[in-house]
Amino acid sequence: METLKHTVEQWYLNVGLTSYWSDLLTDTTLLLGILVLSLLVNFITKKIILAIVIKVVEKSETNWDDILLKRKVFARLSQVAPILIIYYGIPQLFPEAPSFIGLIQKAVVMYLVFWGALIVDALLRSLNDIYERFESAAERPIKGYIQVVQILVYLLAVLLMFAILMDKSVTYLLAGLGTLTAVFMLVFKDSLLGLAAGIQMSVNKMVRIGDWITVPSQNADGVIIEISLNTVKVQNWDNTITTVPSYALVSGSFQNWRGMQESGGRRVKRSILIDQTSIRFCTDEMLEKYKKIDLIRDYVFNRTAEIEAHNTERQVNREIPVNGRKMTNLGTFRRYIQEYLKNHQEVNQELTVMVRHLPPTERGIPLELYFFSKEKRWIYYEAIQADIFDHLLATVEFFELRVFQEPTGYDMRQMGK
């Protein structure tokens, strides 16, 4: 370098410049030369070496290098080479100017720290992307922990840059941060709460990516698509995105439908409201009609025989309908529903299948169906449920029952005729 500098300086002297201008132009020329060399290295690393790396990555069969490329790890690494040319070149060209060298190197080191933080950030993001390809990632996401490390990396980078700028050690600055603890606690309150909540959710396996949750207080009802340090993103059924604070799930209540999704079926719990004035004892004509129904033929035969034997044994007075035992149209309809559900191919027979009466209300007597659909996907589940109730509502009149419905304008018009 000394030889190069002397050669350039001698050239300027030979063209007739004074010693002052020769020194000035020599330093300027060498400085520009370092900058040009740095730009040339930058061009080579970005346009040639990086292009080769991209082609190699695209042709490789592994996935992790594609993720590194996507997160721009290689692109950010290419920023280091040009600045190293300046860092090591300046002291060689200007050994007689230590203050200038120190100023340039200080700026270069700060620049390197900045890009070092960006490179580590890209590597951490790549690590999270690689981890999310494993099945365990849905149950135990690490994005929250990655974000904590990212915060620490950037905080350390800022401290290093201040230390370089002030010519102080990092430990000196860290000692001074003790007085700012309360300020940092206030600034990073949400992050700290989110970290604590994330640890609790991970340890207790409260939620995971892909879970369907309902959080009424946050107007969230959908599938979890992301779990981060501070928030849980939920894609609602209308495709809107609700961002729920992580600590809200720990401090409040929410409903996780994972148990239903992992079980053998999805529950149906719905009632048909029966008009109580339509409930009556079965006549012989009604019983003969019910005996023609395939699902309850045996039940009607056996039940009528059992009741007949019971009433005969006790010499029940048949002239009064309330004496003895008799079948009702509601009881027969309830048995029909039970048999219908037991023979339905989309009803899980290994789980509870039940039809029961609920307490009568001013809207009639609720006849509740409680069973589990084999199909858990929402669209198909709703179709199965609708199909079952379509059939039963159309069957009600066959048992001479009526479904309760509050009077409508049509009913009022009919009354006026």
Helix (H, G, I), strand (E, B) or coil at 269: strand
**What pLDDT was estimated at residue 396?**
95
Residue 61: per-residue pLDDT:
77
For residue 16, how many C-alpha atoms fall within 13 Å in the half-sphere facing its CB?
0
Query: What DSSP string runs through 71-84?
Result: TTHHHHHTTHHHHH
Region of 171 on the Ramachandran plot (φ > 0 left; ψ -120 to 50 alpha; else beta): alpha
For residue 29, what pLDDT is reported? 72
Under 8 Å between Cβ of 348 and 374: yes
In the prediction, which pLDDT does 52 show? 82
d(CA 221, CA 231) in angstroms, rounded, equals 15
Cβ within 8 Å of residue 76, ≥6 positions away: 115, 118, 119, 122
Question: What is the token pair recorded at 199?
Answer: 């640890």
pLDDT tens, residue order, the chain (417 aa)? 556 555 655 666 566 666 666 665 666 676 677 777 777 887 888 788 878 877 887 777 777 777 877 788 888 888 888 887 777 777 666 666 566 667 777 888 888 888 888 888 888 888 888 887 777 666 677 777 787 788 888 888 888 888 877 777 766 666 655 555 666 666 666 666 776 777 677 666 778 888 889 998 888 998 888 887 678 899 998 889 998 888 788 777 888 877 766 677 888 999 999 999 999 999 989 999 999 999 999 999 999 999 989 988 888 888 888 888 999 999 999 999 999 999 999 999 988 999 999 999 998 999 999 999 998 888 889 999 999 999 999 999 999 999 998 877 666 776 766
**68 CB-near residues (< 8 Å, 6+ apart):** 57, 74, 122, 123, 126
Amino acid identity, residue 167? Answer: D
Phi, psi of 280 (to 5 degrees): -155, 165
Strand partners, 365: 274
Written as six digits, the tokens of 122 are: 């890209």
CA distance 212 to 231: 16
Global confidence as pTM = 0.51
Q: Check: CB of residue 239 under 8 Å from CB of residue 173.
A: no
Give the per-residue pLDDT at 51. Answer: 80
What is the per-residue pLDDT for 202? 66
